[in-house]
Chains A and B, each alone.
Chain A
């Protein structure tokens, strides 16, 4: 099955700096890679996702890059703000048309933005 590794486990940055979280996946058949933000005791919220037919996607201060050859993808947050502090999870999923495959999550990164 799929295995997703995520680094770092914790990340502390100063407000205004950039934050980068990296994930690798094992199954070359995976083709959908979402990133979720989870605040303490709350549900994971999708913040950005990318499919295997593109290499980069950007949404305001958030961007995701995908390297299919190396099987890794990264989340980039620019101009970080204290409200960005949360746990971020990457995930990978195989082609959904097959029906049953769900998301395999990374271990999470606790991001702390220091004001």
Chain B
């Protein structure tokens, strides 16, 4: 259980084009999904928190107009990199947190397989 998929797994695009990446929770509903970016040999940096039915919350320094996030359903969040440039080339990973109750809620995050974006 708790499987998260991501599509596409890799994409190469020309500078100035837009790229959409999908993140799906396959066997659970996720009211919250997270988008991370990982540069080679570096750690995962949180870009934004995607909330179903409401606007995403972006981390400081992340341009909301450049990285559009839409969480249209409880199993799907999309990240669109608009007007991509070579410096946007990176590994983009989403994660989702299953719902739960109790004192701790559900802390565990499950990650998608990632999308490698290369902008030429």
Contacts and interface: CB of A to CB of B under 8 A. Distances in A.
Is the A/B pair a real complex? Answer: yes
B104 A51 contact: yes
Nearest to A101: B49
A96 B43 contact: no
16 contacts: A34-B108, A34-B109, A36-B111, A41-B116, A42-B114, A43-B112, A43-B114, A45-B111, A96-B106, A96-B107, A97-B104, A99-B32, A102-B34, A103-B44, A103-B95, A106-B43
Contacts of B103: 97
Interface of A: 32, 34, 36, 41-46, 49, 51, 89, 93, 95-97, 99-100, 102-108
Given A49-B108, A103-B46, A43 B32 contact: no
Contacts, number: 63
A108 B108 contact: no
Contact of B107 (A34, A41, A105): A34
Interface in B64-112: 91, 93, 95, 97, 103-112
Interface of B: 32, 34, 42-46, 49, 51, 57, 91, 93, 95, 97, 103-114, 116
A43 B93 contact: yes
Contact of B44 (A44, A93, A99): A44
A92 to B, nearest CB: 11
Contact of B105 (A43, A96, A105): A96
Contacts of A95: 104
Contacts of A103: 34, 44, 46, 95, 109
A43 B57 CA distance: 23
A107 B46 contact: no
B43 A107 contact: yes
Given A42-B113, A43-B114, A44-B93, A100 B57 contact: yes
